[in-house]
Structure 1
Amino acid sequence: MEKTLTISIAAYNVQDTIERALDSLLDWRINDDIEIIVVDDGGQDESLSIAKRYAEEYPGIVIPIHKENGGYGSTINASLEKSTGKYFKQLDGDDWFLTENFVEFVEVLKKTEADCVISEVAEYHAGTGEQKENEVHKKISEGIHSFAKINFESVLTMHGTAIKTKILQDHNIRIIEKCFYSDTELVVLPMPYLETFYMFKKAVYVYFIGAEGQSMSLGGIEKHYPDHEKVYWELVEVYNMIPEENTNKRNIILMRLAKEAVFHIEFLCCLPISSTHKKELVEFGNRLKKDYPDVYEATRKRRRMVRILFDTKFLAYHLVARKTRAKYKNR
């Protein structure tokens, strides 16, 4: 029986948080409409055992999978192979959904035939205990819209998007495996095949910020920043696939590319100051300027520190790098 929604949970050593994630999804009003595929990505803790216990209590709803470690992208790929949901959405094992809003969200999925459903996203900051529901799509009304007719002013995120499973499967959308920062691909790679979206005006996903060892922490960046560049050029290739006359859809990806380029420049600037890291920074900026001038200009406009670097031909590297590294250390 086809479900309304498949939720893929990446569960790598998340024994302390996986129950919170699962409990936020399970509600008697929608249990028959969802399947939760919990992918234990070769973890060493009790995450799989916890998932199996939930599977016994919720048969056919919670589906545990154990596999060798292949990174975040492999958990998405494994879930897509087994997905029977009309729509597909991901959840990290240390994040959760807002249950009441999620129940409403599933009801929308049951009725709409949009290619994807976009929602707001909430953030929980571990340091302060503050939870904030963001409103980044204020100007777009609730309901179904065409990507060709709506000019997005905010970046689309995988945390805030559910996509028709058939589109992902029919076009063989696969995320890079054994690679960090690949989550962005889930919302960018299908973009050439998405024509319509439904705007759901409430937050569903809660993104947990501040966990030590996360890929956006200073330690994570120092270990994995080359992965970010690898993913980045994959996203650029998708941008090149969109016809120039489809300006709104190109703009959606352009905003994402500019945001990710700023991230990558920040990553390179928060690394220990060295001639090697400066060279990597210069090569990245020059490649953007030479091969993708529109992305270069959008990136330049997005952040003051990027303009300073670009406009000084990277002579300001040492100054910007010191400030950037200090900012990431104090997060």
Structure 2
Amino acid sequence: MKLLSIAVPCYNSQDYMEHCVNSLLPGGDDVEILIVNDGSKDDTADIANRLEAEHPGIVRAIHQENAGHGGAVNTGLAHATGLFFKVVDSDDWVDLEAYKKILSFLKTAVMEDRLPDLLLSNYVYEKQGAARKKIMQYRKYFPADTYFTWDDVKPLPPTIYILMHSVIFRTAVLRRSGLELPKKTFYVDNLFVFQPMPYVKTLYYIDADFYRYFIGREDQSVNESVMISRLDQQFRVTRLMIDCLEKSGPLFKNRTLCKNMCSYLNIILSISSIMAIKSGTEEHLREKEALWQELKDMNPSLYRKFRYRTLLGIAMNLPGKIGRKCSVLAYNVTQKIYGFN
């Protein structure tokens, strides 16, 4: 059995996927790199096959009809044999020294028969053209280099939340949670992190800048114009997260876990809302109102908390054109400070 399975979803990734895979190869025989070619129309399949031939027992090329990012992650998880599971997007890469630290810890965890359900580390926004790289780290909120539970976690502020880039799950935890991401849908990264959280009992945080998150391609899913064009998918994921939170209710035995999951949902709901506002179309504004109404119908107390007791909820629901302009201004200021998109 492998120590770590790393899924690399690829769609028309010929120009950058090899850089990603090369950054993962130093893991050697402890890892399996699952290149999931998601129906690419360029040379992705050939590159994947070549890398598998060059690195037998480490790289596996898996080919499928196009199912989107979520479908590719599902395929990677279905084929994973590792004790732990990580997703690295094909235009991203990892830092070598941090990678060594993580693999060293995982080996020790196996030897001591003390496997965390979730391993966390930092990620870096590798934003094209940016003079200063923003590092998203958690040292103020998670105890470093020790096992801990949700009781030891401080509530995360609205500007800090756990992304797919931050996490390495124990594979068994992902499977126990019943995780199956929707196909042909972007922004499922959030659901990947969100749904398994109630099944996580023990955590470990390594304060190292492991994941390098590239931002800058015009066709990238987090490009603002692309996000607006795919708002239907953003709304779909947000609805699934609301539904997931409702279904997970009986699993909540920790107040901090519940608080952090609610905060995460509030952030994603706010992102969906601000993109609808920025689009300026009546259709998207109606969809935004419908989304908030669905939350109100499903969980009135949570709706009231988000809508009237959090700055994000208040800012995303200011009335009229002037209110919407203020919402956009608040978003733009936050965007400039934290360098996302």
Same fold (TM over 0.5): yes
1:232-261 Cα shifts (integer Å, max 9, x gaps)? 121122222134552111112111101101
Question: Residue in 1 aligned with 2:275?
Answer: 267
Q: Tell me, which stretches of 5 or more residues in structure 2 are unaligned?
A: 110-114, 336-340
Structure 2: distance between partners of 1:214 and 1:268: 18
1:64-110 Cα shifts (integer Å, max 9, x gaps)? 11110000111111111110101000010001101111111111122
Q: Does residue 106 of the first structure (1) align with residue 103 of the second (2)?
A: yes
Identity value in percent = 25
- 1:234 alignment partner, one of 240, 260, 277: 240
Structure 2: distance between partners of 1:258 and 1:295: 10
Shift of 1:41: 0.5
Question: Residue in 1 aligned with 2:69?
Answer: 72
Q: Tell me, which stretches of 5 or more residues in structure 1 are unaligned?
A: none
Q: Residues 77-226 of structure 1: matches in 2 within 5 Å?
A: 77-112=74-109, 113-128=115-130, 130-142=132-144, 143-153=146-156, 154-226=160-232
Structure 1: distance between partners of 2:296 and 2:150: 28
Shift of 1:63: 0.5
3-state SS in 2 of match to 1:187: helix
How has the CA–CA distance of structure 1 residues 251 and 167 changed in structure 2, closer, same or farther, with 3 Å as cutoff? same
Residues 177, 195 of structure 2: 8 Å contact kept: no
Question: Residue in 1 aligned with 2:22?
Answer: 23
Q: Does residue 310 of the first structure (1) align with residue 307 of the second (2)?
A: no
Shift of 1:186: 1.3
Q: Does residue 253 of the first structure (1) align with residue 261 of the second (2)?
A: yes
Question: Residue in 1 aligned with 2:338?
Answer: none
How has the CA–CA distance of structure 1 residues 141 and 321 changed in structure 2, closer, same or farther, with 3 Å as cutoff? closer
How has the CA–CA distance of structure 1 residues 11 and 308 changed in structure 2, closer, same or farther, with 3 Å as cutoff? closer
Structure 1: distance between partners of 2:174 and 2:192: 9
1:29-58 Cα shifts (integer Å, max 9, x gaps)? x30100000001001111221122221121
Residues 150, 254 of structure 2: 8 Å contact kept: no
How has the CA–CA distance of structure 1 residues 99 and 127 changed in structure 2, closer, same or farther, with 3 Å as cutoff? same
Residues 39, 65 of structure 2: 8 Å contact kept: yes
Tell me how many residue pairs correspond in the alignment.
Answer: 324
* AA partner of residue 21 (structure 1): C
How has the CA–CA distance of structure 1 residues 236 and 52 changed in structure 2, closer, same or farther, with 3 Å as cutoff? same
Give the TM-score normalised by structure 2.
0.86
* AA partner of residue 178 (structure 1): K
Question: Which range moves more in the overlay, 93-102 or 161-170?
Answer: 161-170
Residues 128, 214 of structure 2: 8 Å contact kept: yes
1:147-166 Cα shifts (integer Å, max 9, x gaps)? 24423324221110011112
Residues 242, 295 of structure 2: 8 Å contact kept: no
